[in-house]
Structures are given as structure tokens and as C-alpha cells.
Structure 1
């Protein structure tokens, strides 16, 4: 029987076929993470072509909602029915969404296409990590997980350049079409390398739990996306969506505790490695967002790197991320231990955050590069470690469920961090700008207050503001330069507040590493113990 149609009772991949599976995982991870970067690069051109600025955020929100919600569903079902059907389904949906996105003739059509793409992306987020668990034992996995994280870092580095090239030299539509040949390659790899799993288990899909999770998460994700931009944090709309979503999620938890085959198993949270790792993931995610999410704005608006090159701003951080992940993976693989690596990684994250907290209006680009590399080293070393620790702490048969739960929490961390830190920056920027504007510019204060820092740094906005000052005659240019200096100082102050918040989360991350229990990484006995457990049952 050929490898493509081999039927077995486990997802485990052995022999030479595991390297084909590993290559498939790397291809899938590279292009799924690359997609987000190139789409962000192309969005200004998309908006200009489709004329839908009011739906701009929905292009990302629709993708984020569908991908986040489907992750735990894929993870649960893949443990029983195998990775292959859900990997294939996810790739096909991602390809269909990409094709529809590429031919979209309105922003609304693009939003719906991105939602379809997100359904596929949910599988592409959860299946690769579980597949790595099917290929390697926890001790081996530490080494190769570092390689996976390095591939993720590489996609973040080359993404802006690829997105800019495709948009400028071909068309923004090819940002989506370019996914299609790689989807085909990945499908071939999945069909050839992944086993078809036969199970005797009778599984009842927890559709009620899936429905409750969806209904609870959608209003919360929308509230966190719109808070501070479309609506104020304390507005009736935001409070109502958060409260309503929270009530439904409480009902979801109650249901899952009573469901015979729950979507998210409550017993997972009784494991200290699992709960501590989830908390650490949230903390390190917030530390990363707090320090780095708006760093390109600082580099462009304060240091003066032009907008064309701003896509490369994150390269030093991702370079450190790649090195950190590979080094920590090698150390864990050789020693079979991870707790000391976690302590050191947490300490390096704190050092990187402290360095970033020293920046001011006079900070140079080389200084920022060094600070970013240090922070990237710490985050890169810690993130794969948490995944390794959790996988090692549970039986192989629940690999998909465990990985999906981790990925789900990690996605929520990014969703929460984005609007929170955006609000911190906008509030600090607006307040400082009001303090720094000279009396001669007080008449312009209302107009400035309606603009956020990102808008003030675009060339279009600056040209429009300069045109307004030109009407004031010869003194207009001097007033314009006073305004832009105030903007620069205010932006520096706002970024400093973000770095301070990031430092708090970095310190909490370091403290949290001391609560992470250590379970020696298992070798091949990981799979043998699983087989013994299965026969005993």
C-alpha cells in the first residue's frame, strides 16, 4: 500500500516520510505567516483601488475572527480523525479565499474573502505544531521547533520586500494569487507524507460548544478591534459587546464542564505546566507588542527613516528571534531540560525592555537595532520553549487539542494587545501634543486632536497640513516646522509610555518563568509510553 493511502491508528510519522512532512510544515508556516506581512504592505494600494477606507480594519478583523475561532475546533478533531483531512481542508479554504481576494472588485467582497481565507488559516496555525509532535519526540522536537521559529522570523523579514515588489511591479491582486502555487505544493506534501488515521473511537462533535465559543468571541473580538478608534472604551457599544460576549463565554465554560466530549477539555487546566505556559504566553505577547508593535512609527517619525524602508525596521528583532529560538532549541535538545533556559530567556527579555526604555528624541538607529536584537533573542528563546514544555507534559494522543489551545490563547493575546497599546499611544500623544503646541498654533489644536500619530506621519497628511500653513503667508512654514517638532516630541513621549508598559509585562514574564514546573523532555519513550497506554486501555 502506498504512503499516500496508508491507514493507521495514530498520527505518528516515522521513517523517511517524516522529512517530507517536516518540509511541508515549513512551507505552510512560511507562506501563511508571509501572507499577513505582504497583505499589510499592499493595503494602501488596495484602498486606493477599491475605495473602501471605512472597511479597512475589517480586512484584518474578518481574517482574525475566523482563524482564531476555528483553531480549537481543528485541534480537537485532528486528534481523533487525523491531521490530514483538516490540513487539506484548511489549505483548500485558504486557496479559495486567496483566489476570491485576488479578484475582489469591492472592499466588502475582499472582507468576505478574507473571512474564508481565515477559516483555512485556522488549520494552518494549529496543524503544523501538532504535526511536528507527530514527527519528533519532545527531546528531538526542541531542536526542530527552533528551526520552525527561524522560518517564521525569516518570513517576517522578507515579507515587506516581497509585498512591496509584487504590489509595485505586478499588482496588489498577485499578493493573494501568489499563495495558490504554494497551496498546491503543500497539498501534495500533505497527501504524500501524512498518514490517514483510522479510529474506532465514537466521537460526538461538540457543535453546541463551538457555537457558544463563536457567539461569545465575535463581539469581544469586535469590541477589542473597535475600542479606542471607532468607539470610546467606555462607550455603550464597547461595554455592551464585552459584557455580552463574556456572559456567553461563561455559558460556554459551564457547558464544557458538563459536555461528554468537550471542545476545550477543562482537565487541561489542572496541569500546572499548561496553565503556567498559557499565562507566560499572554505576558510575553503583551511584552512584545508593548515594546515593538509601534516601533516602526518611532523609527520613521522620530529617527527619520523614510517610509519606503520602514518595512525593514523589524529585521534586527526578527534576526535576534531566529538566533534565540535555534540556540534554545539546541540546548534543550542536548540537555533534556528547559527551566534554566526559561529563566535566562526571561532575564534577556527584561534587559531588552530596559534598553528600549532609554530611548529619546536623540536616539540613533544603531542603538535601536542593538536594543531590538537583545529583546528578540529573549523572546525567540522563550516562545518555542513554552510550546515544548506543554507538549511534553501531556500524552501524545491529545497533541492536537493541547497545541490548538495554546495557539488560541496566543492569538487572543495579540488581539487584546493591539487596541490596548493603540489607546495608550494615542492618549499619551494627544495629551503631550496639547502641552507642547505654542499659543500661535492653538487654533490648529482641534484639527490635530482628531488625527492619530500614524496619520500624522503619512506623507499625504503632512502635505495637506503644510498646504494649510502655506495659506498663512511667509510665517506659515515656520509655524509648520514648530508643529512637526511638537509632533516628534509627542510621539517620542507616547512611545516611551508603551515601552514602560512593555517593561512591566517583561518583568512579569521573568517572574512567571520561576513558576514553570520542569518535566524532563522525553525521547522515544514518549511514543512507546503512548502505545503502552493504548494497549492497557
Structure 2
């Protein structure tokens, strides 16, 4: 039944969702700067990593569920719900009196954040035509680049002049403004129909993914890969995931429609997002260690080598948005894949003598590749599915990048530890060194080592980190191979009145 609706004020809606996305994106970088002060106040250093892992875990676990809920009940209520939950978590995180409380509230933040990025991107797909959407996606990508650049500096300002709690409380005014803007200016023309929420599927998916993500986070560190907890969690994942597949096949409105994964374009896009997620975490996690320890440069120089990736990403995304209607999806995706290979080559041949500028150039090319591929995939996916599955299709693509980050951290971290351990066993036994000895080198506590032992550790880290960059290059090659099998597909532009259910 048609009915008259208000018209969405698109510039104000876009401003509102950009504020929400910035709030969510900056949490990944601003907290890192404040963590030494947080640990100093709250203690609990052994739980340090869970402040980050807890947030990312809940973010990844809820993305797919929110995407489906947005398809069932509309984008507006789901993104507002997510922002509210995120703000509650932010408020409570700033009031934490122990590390365990902070981790709990970071979990709550993550639950809210899972709705923000995918639904914000889906709203853009709803209210803009494909010609406009290709340009707007460049603006959204810029949000992540800007947050990565200013996040650490802003965190430092809050810690030095105010209190670490403001790292979390700064979200409150941004979130409130975003809610007001979305509520007032975004209007959806939804048909009032009853929906059956797939609660069983949601629960099974949540348990399965939780088990797998915890294995990736804790495996090889807190637990050995063949330990009982890891084996039990993998078994739980397999059982729940198999039952989940059967549940999705027989339910009327599955939480993850398996049909979208049968589309070649979406299958390729999601697979590439998984492999590029590994590349991204490989640089973000291990490049600063190489620049500081192996090259002997200060932290600010190490930060520069990552900042170039954050600069290349939005530039490439914006250019891609302007060219996509002229060149099509596949050629631009291939150019992005080649850029990943070029960046991978810079790291493959990285050595201490080449210096941080070489590493910065490599990061820039990786950023170009990430910006081009992610923009192409989001636009192509949103343009290839109907409104009723656009939310979950968009969310599936972003979920695969999160999975790539998690898998990459575990896989590349395992490669690093194994290579360093082998080196130490072969050359460092007489100096009583171990893999954990690298902690002292990374933190600057080198007084406990002799000059010979210190040199051995640096040699071992150089070799181990180079092995990680071989892995990064391999995943860049895999990404390009996957892109080359991407199907040729024409760019369609369905009218908003029929395709988007928004006015």
C-alpha cells in the first residue's frame, strides 16, 4: 500500500551517519594511546589485550545480525539502537574502577558498534543513486583515514590535559547529535508486515562465531593450539555452524540468507575482504615494531609509516567513486589488486638500510589498494541485490574484513613467534633467551641483556618480521588472483522509489 512520506534531507542524514561512523572508527585508535594511563589507574596488565579484543569481538559477532534486522525492520531503528548501546558502553567505560569492569563495558560498546558501520553504509546505498553513491563512499572511507590519523594525537591530548575517561566520553555529544539527525531527517517508507525473527539462527551464529573468534584471539598465546580449551571451542564452532546451516535452509526469514553467498560477485568480494583484512592487520600490528626495533627509529616515525596507508585509502576511494561509472567494477578492482602487490613488494624487499620512507611508500600503495577494492566491492554488492537483503549483504562484506583481521592477527602472530623461537633455539640458547625476551626489546628494557644477546634478539626479530611480510605479500597475490575471477557485471541504477524504499 502506497502512502505519502516525508522526504529525507540527504546532506543532514549523511552528516549524521558520518558522525556516528567517526565515533565508532576512532575507538580503534584513540584508546591505544590512553592504555598506559588506564593500566596505571586500574591495574590488570594481564588483561590488557582484552580491552581491544573484547570490543572487536562483539563488533564482529553482531554485524551480520544487525544487517538482517535492518532488512526486516528498517535501517533507522537499528542504527539508533546501536548508537544508544554504544553510548551506554562509552559512559560506563569512563566510570570503570577496574580492568574487568572496563572490559565488560568495552563489550557493550562493541555490541553497539556492530550496528553503526554496516547500517550507515547501507543507508547511503538506500538514499543515493549509484552515480551519487560512488562519490559518497569516498567520503565514508575518509572517515576511517581521518580517525586513524587524529585518534592517537587526540587520545594523547585527553590523557595529558584532562582524564583518560574522556577518551570514551567524547563519544557522547557525537552520538547524541547523530541520533537527533537520523531521527529528524531520515525517513523510510516501510510496508507494515509481520516478520519472524530467526532467533535460533541468531543464537547458533553467535555461539559459533564466538567460539571461533576466541580461539583466534587466545590460541597460541594463553592456550596452546592443541590444548583442551582450543579443541573444545573448535568442536563447539563446528557443531553450531553445521546446525546453523541447516537452520538457515529451512527457516522462512534466515538471519543470513545463504542465497547471497551464491552470487559470484559477492563471493569474490567477501573472499577478497578476508584476504585484505589479513594484509591490513599485518601492517598495523607489526610494522611499528620493525621500524622502532629493527630500524631504531622513534615511535613518531613508526606512526608515520602507518599514516601513509590512512592517507592513500581515502584518496583512492574518492578517485574510485568518480571513475567507477566510466570504467566499471572489475578494471578498478584489478588496479587495486595490483597496487596491493606493489605495496607487498615494498615490504618483501624491506630491510633496515632502506629506512622508514621505503616502508611508508609501501604502506601508501597498500592504502591505495584497500581504498579501491573496498569501494568497488561495497558499491557492486549494494547495486546487485534488492533492498530487502542489502543490509545483510553489506554487513557480510564488512564481517569478512573483521574476520580477516582476526585470522591475520593469529596467523601472522603465530608465524612471527615460531620463526623467532626457531632462530633463538639455533643461536641464542647459550644466552638464555626465549621468545618472551622480545618483550623487553619492544618495551625498551634492554639493560638486562648483554650486547651479544641484544644483537641476537634484534637479528631474530628482523628475520621473524621479514617472514611476516612474506605472508603479507602472499595474501596480496591471493587477493589479486581472486579479483581476476571477478565476474564482469554491468552497472545498473534502479530508481530509488522502487529499489530503496526511502524518500
What TM-score, normalized to structure 2?
0.94
> 1:9 and 1:289, CA in 2 relative to 1: closer, same or farther beyond 3 A?
farther
Preserved contact between residue 55 and residue 107 of structure 1 (Cα < 8 Å): yes
* Cα displacement string for residues 51-74 of structure 1 (whole angstroms, at most 9, x for unaligned residues): 112222222232223222221221
Answering whether residue 256 of structure 2 is matched by residue 270 of structure 1, we say no
- SS of aligned partner of 1:191: helix
Counterpart of 1:521 in structure 2 is: 491
**1:255 Cα deviation (Å)?**
0.6
- RMSD across aligned C-alpha pairs, in angstroms? 2.3
Matches within 5 A, 1:258-407: 258-307=250-299, 310-333=302-325, 335=326, 337-407=328-398
**1:292 Cα deviation (Å)?**
4.4
Counterpart of 1:442 in structure 2 is: 430
Counterpart of 1:484 in structure 2 is: 454
Q: Partners in 2 of 1:142 and 1:275 — Cα distance?
A: 21
Q: Partners in 2 of 1:285 and 1:13 — Cα distance?
A: 40
Preserved contact between residue 305 and residue 357 of structure 2 (Cα < 8 Å): no
Gaps of 5+ in 1: 1-6, 470-479
Counterpart of 2:249 in structure 1 is: 257
Q: Partners in 2 of 1:161 and 1:529 — Cα distance?
A: 45
* Cα displacement string for residues 422-481 of structure 1 (whole angstroms, at most 9, x for unaligned residues): 1111221222234443xxx72422xx3333x4553103x33xxx1x45xxxxxxxxxx22
Counterpart of 2:132 in structure 1 is: 140
- After the TM superposition, which of the residue ranges 154-163 and 311-320 deviates more from structure 2? 311-320
- SS of aligned partner of 1:105: coil
Counterpart of 1:235 in structure 2 is: 227
Q: Partners in 2 of 1:118 and 1:99 — Cα distance?
A: 13
Q: Partners in 2 of 1:188 and 1:455 — Cα distance?
A: 48
Q: Partners in 2 of 1:309 and 1:193 — Cα distance?
A: 43
> 1:526 and 1:421, CA in 2 relative to 1: closer, same or farther beyond 3 A?
farther
**1:291 Cα deviation (Å)?**
4.2
Counterpart of 1:457 in structure 2 is: 442
- SS of aligned partner of 1:294: helix
Answering whether residue 184 of structure 2 is matched by residue 192 of structure 1, we say yes
What TM-score, normalized to structure 1?
0.89
> 1:8 and 1:497, CA in 2 relative to 1: closer, same or farther beyond 3 A?
farther
Count residues with an aligned counterpart.
502
**1:363 Cα deviation (Å)?**
2.4
> 1:486 and 1:361, CA in 2 relative to 1: closer, same or farther beyond 3 A?
farther
Gaps of 5+ in 2: none
State the structure with more CA Rg: 1
Preserved contact between residue 396 and residue 526 of structure 1 (Cα < 8 Å): no
Preserved contact between residue 83 and residue 194 of structure 1 (Cα < 8 Å): no
Q: Partners in 1 of 2:334 and 2:3 — Cα distance?
A: 39
Answering whether residue 214 of structure 2 is matched by residue 222 of structure 1, we say yes
Preserved contact between residue 336 and residue 369 of structure 2 (Cα < 8 Å): yes
> 1:276 and 1:13, CA in 2 relative to 1: closer, same or farther beyond 3 A?
farther
Preserved contact between residue 67 and residue 120 of structure 1 (Cα < 8 Å): yes
**1:98 Cα deviation (Å)?**
0.5
Preserved contact between residue 391 and residue 399 of structure 1 (Cα < 8 Å): yes
Q: Partners in 2 of 1:14 and 1:494 — Cα distance?
A: 57
The one of 39, 46, 71 equivalent to 2:38 is 46
**1:189 Cα deviation (Å)?**
1.1
**1:488 Cα deviation (Å)?**
1.8
